[in-house]
Amino acid sequence: MITVSSLSKEFNHTEVLKNIDLQVNASEIVVLLGPSGSGKSTLLRCLNGLEELSGGRFEVNGIGVDAAAPRRTRTAAYREIRKHTGMVFQQFNLYPHKTALGNVIESLLTVKKMPREQAVPVGRELLKRVGLAEKEDAYPSRLSGGQQQRVAIARALAMDPAVMLFDEPTSALDPELVGEVLGVMRGLARDGMTMLVVTHEMKFAREVADKIVFMADGAIVEEAAPDVFFEQPQHERTKKFLRQIE
Ligand code: ADP
Ligand code: MG
């Protein structure tokens, strides 16, 4: 579903992603771990065109992006990729003047040009899926952080994505609200969603991931099944990271 080959990214002549190779198969949950500044967000942002890559290539759901291709070709590919990719960020970024339901159906109305009476039942179903059926009329300011993030997940699901990208979706939440968001993500995993997840929730990583990918200094240092990764880390950098988060 996602294949990344020799991807690199520079900011002002500094290479922040170096020769990244990564694969996420259909229905797989891959968790990306690594210290702050290691390039996790930049990698996710490259995959849906929020950042341009400097070198290499990748494919999402069969749509290819190559750093060597003309910009016009890449722009068209990014547009296509965004239709098949849902992204959830640390900050929920909901429209404050729209209700929960309004937020969820916005892309159906504007991107898919779906008539409202058709979009509303889809939106209600999505709110039900994230456990917020009874909150459809609530505005974001009346929702807890955990509820807002669940609305953001429902909104991302509205486009019926083939892949979901999560960038620290629980990092802005009070500890007692983390579980409800992880619960929704576990549900998506059970339903067979393909997911690439940046998180610091080690219990979630261990229980839900099919594969852990560890990054440091813009490079992939190690990747392994969760049991192997946590029990028998191979590289010194990985061991140091795991000691620090204990
Ligand atoms: P992580 O998500 O793992 O914490 P990031 O992908 O956010 O790491 O950042 C990787 C590196 O790229 C960091 O050194 C960061 O300062 C740098 N960086 C990220 N975004 C930009 C940008 N827009 N301009 C310049 N440098 C950036
Ligand atoms: Mg980040």
34-48 mean pLDDT: 97
Q: Pocket of ligand 1, candidates 10, 14, 16: which has the most ligand atoms within 8 Å of its Cβ, to mutate?
A: 16
Measuring from each residue's beta carbon to the nearest atom of ligand 1, which residues come in under 6 Å? Answer: 11, 16, 34, 36-42
Q: Please state the ipTM of this predicted complex.
A: 0.98
Maximum pairwise Cα distance, the chain: 57
Q: What is the pLDDT of residues 50-96, one digit of tens each?
A: 999 999 999 999 999 999 999 999 999 999 999 999 999 999 889 99
**Which residue, by CA, sits nearest to atom 21 of ligand 1?**
11
**Which residue, by CA, sits nearest to atom 10 of ligand 1?**
39
Res 92: pLDDT:
87
pLDDT higher than threshold 90 for residue 132: yes
Q: What is the pLDDT of residues 208-217, one digit of tens each?
A: 999 999 999 9
Q: What is the pLDDT of residues 145-167, one digit of tens each?
A: 999 999 999 999 999 999 999 99
**Which residue, by CA, sits nearest to atom 23 of ligand 1?**
11
% of the chain surpassing 90 pLDDT: 97
Ligand 1 atom closest to 35 (CA): 3
CA 118 – ligand 2 centroid, Å:
36
Q: Which two tokens stand for residue 69?
A: 């291709």
Those residues with Cβ within 8 angstroms of residue 10's Cβ, 6 or more apart along the chain or in another chain: 16, 54
Q: How far apart are the first and last CA of the chain?
A: 32
Res 81: pLDDT:
94
pLDDT higher than threshold 90 for residue 245: no
**Which residue, by CA, sits nearest to atom 1 of ligand 1?**
37
Confidence of residue 139 (pLDDT cuts 50, 70, 90): very high
Tell me which residue of 219, 218, 186 sits closest to 201, measured CA to CA.
186
pLDDT higher than threshold 80 for residue 246: no
Q: What is the pLDDT of residues 12-31, one digit of tens each?
A: 999 999 999 999 999 999 99
pLDDT higher than threshold 80 for residue 194: yes
CA distances from 17 to 24, 54, 64, 218 (A): 18, 9, 19, 4
Find the ligand nearest to 167 CA. Answer: 2
Q: Pocket of ligand 1, candidates 17, 42, 45: which has the most ligand atoms within 8 Å of its Cβ, to mutate?
A: 42
Report the SS3 class of residue 132: coil
136-146 mean pLDDT: 97
Q: Which two tokens stand for residue 54?
A: 């400097």
pTM here? 0.96
Res 62: pLDDT:
96
CB 44 within 8 A of CB 85: no
Res 192: pLDDT:
97
